[in-house]
Amino acid sequence: MASSAAPLTTAPAYAERREALRTYFDRTARRAWIDLTSDAKVSRIRRTVRAGRDEMRATLLSWLPPVLDGRRLLDAGCGTGALAEVAARRGADVVAVDVAGGLIEVARVRVSAARASFHAGDMLDPAFGEFDHVVAMDSLIHYRPDDLSAALECLAARTRYSLLFTVAPGSRLLGAMLSLGRFFPRKDRSPAIVPIAETELRRRLALLQGWQIGRTARISRGFYKSYAIELVRRP
């Protein structure tokens, strides 16, 4: 994949979108996402999202080695820390990063695993170092294809074994649902999602030197539609 002229963390389009997400998750939807990621009572719409996210998290965790002792893992877009907690309890040294400082505060209270550290900031910041595995669950779905490609390139350059991520699958059904979502109460809306067609995604991933697609999975639960991809180092 072609590198951008400037580091992605300072690219205008990426930085602008990142700040919009920070504002959304720290202000508009902080309470809603705290409830969504707990067992609190939520709306029917959000129950489908919760179920879908639970299934996706379990899927991504199943793609990691069952024993992660000695492995360093980046949870890129960790939210309130559910995935980071499981990975840490399986032995990984987890660096969990989210743009929303308010969600990081919640994660630090909820997660007691000593091997997980939580940081508010840019998931692509090279200062976090190198990793054996990277998981980016539903954290790249808000970026345009060019920024998605650049983000994957940035993460892949610092990853040793596998890079797991999700995208919003491009389809008429999802497009219709996203349009319908504009009429939901504000508390039930998510920030704008950018779907990408599978053919376009695979074309872009083929340009990522040294990596190949491993497992894939589609999860559809009501208003949660997501496509997971495992990238692994070529032998």
Give the pLDDT confidence of 58-115 residue by residue, as tens digits: 999 999 999 999 999 999 999 999 999 999 999 999 999 999 999 999 999 999 999 9
Residue 1: per-residue pLDDT: 41
DSSP code of residue 226 = E
224 within 8 A of 235, measured Cβ to Cβ? no
228, β-bridge pairs? 166, 217
Task: Write down the H helix ranges in the chain.
Answer: 12-23, 30-36, 44-62, 82-89, 101-110, 145-156, 172-181, 198-205
Question: Terminus-to-terminus CA distance in the chain, angstroms?
Answer: 19
What phi and psi, each to the nearest 5 degrees, are found at residue 164? -110, 130
Residue 212: which pLDDT band, with cuts at 50, 70 and 90?
very high
**CA 140, CA 158: separation in Å to the nearest integer?**
17
Provide, rounded to the nearest whole percent, the portion of the chain with pLDDT above 70: 87
**CA 154, CA 147: separation in Å to the nearest integer?**
10
- The residues, ordered by sequence, that sit 6+ positions from 37 with a Cβ below 8 Å of its Cβ are 50, 53, 79, 80, 82
Judged against a pLDDT cut of 90, whether residue 186 lies above it is answered with no
Residue 9: per-residue pLDDT: 65
Judged against a pLDDT cut of 50, whether residue 41 lies above it is answered with yes
pTM value is 0.89
**CA 224, CA 235: separation in Å to the nearest integer?**
34
5-27 mean pLDDT:
82
Cα 232 vs. chain centroid, distance in angstroms? Answer: 17
Judged against a pLDDT cut of 80, whether residue 28 lies above it is answered with yes
What's domain 8-233's superfamily in CATH? Answer: Vaccinia Virus protein VP39 (3.40.50.150)
Convert 157-168 to b/e letters by CB count within 10 Å (16 or more is b).
eebeebbbbbbb
Residue 12: per-residue pLDDT: 85
Lowest mean pLDDT across 19-28, 62-71, 225-234: 19-28
Give the pLDDT confidence of 124-182 residue by residue, as tens digits: 999 999 999 999 999 999 999 999 999 999 999 999 999 999 999 986 554 544 444 45
213-234 mean pLDDT:
96
Residue 7: per-residue pLDDT: 57
15-31 mean pLDDT:
91
Is 152 exposed, middle or buried (CB count within 10 Å of its CB: 0-12, 13-18, 19+)?
Answer: buried
Residue 29: per-residue pLDDT: 86
Nearest to 123, CA basis, from 141, 135, 111: 135
Judged against a pLDDT cut of 60, whether residue 188 lies above it is answered with no
Residue 8: per-residue pLDDT: 72
Residue 5: per-residue pLDDT: 38
Q: What is the largest CA-CA distance in the chain?
A: 49
Arithmetic mean of pLDDT over the chain: 89
Nearest to 141, CA basis, from 114, 167, 108, 113: 167
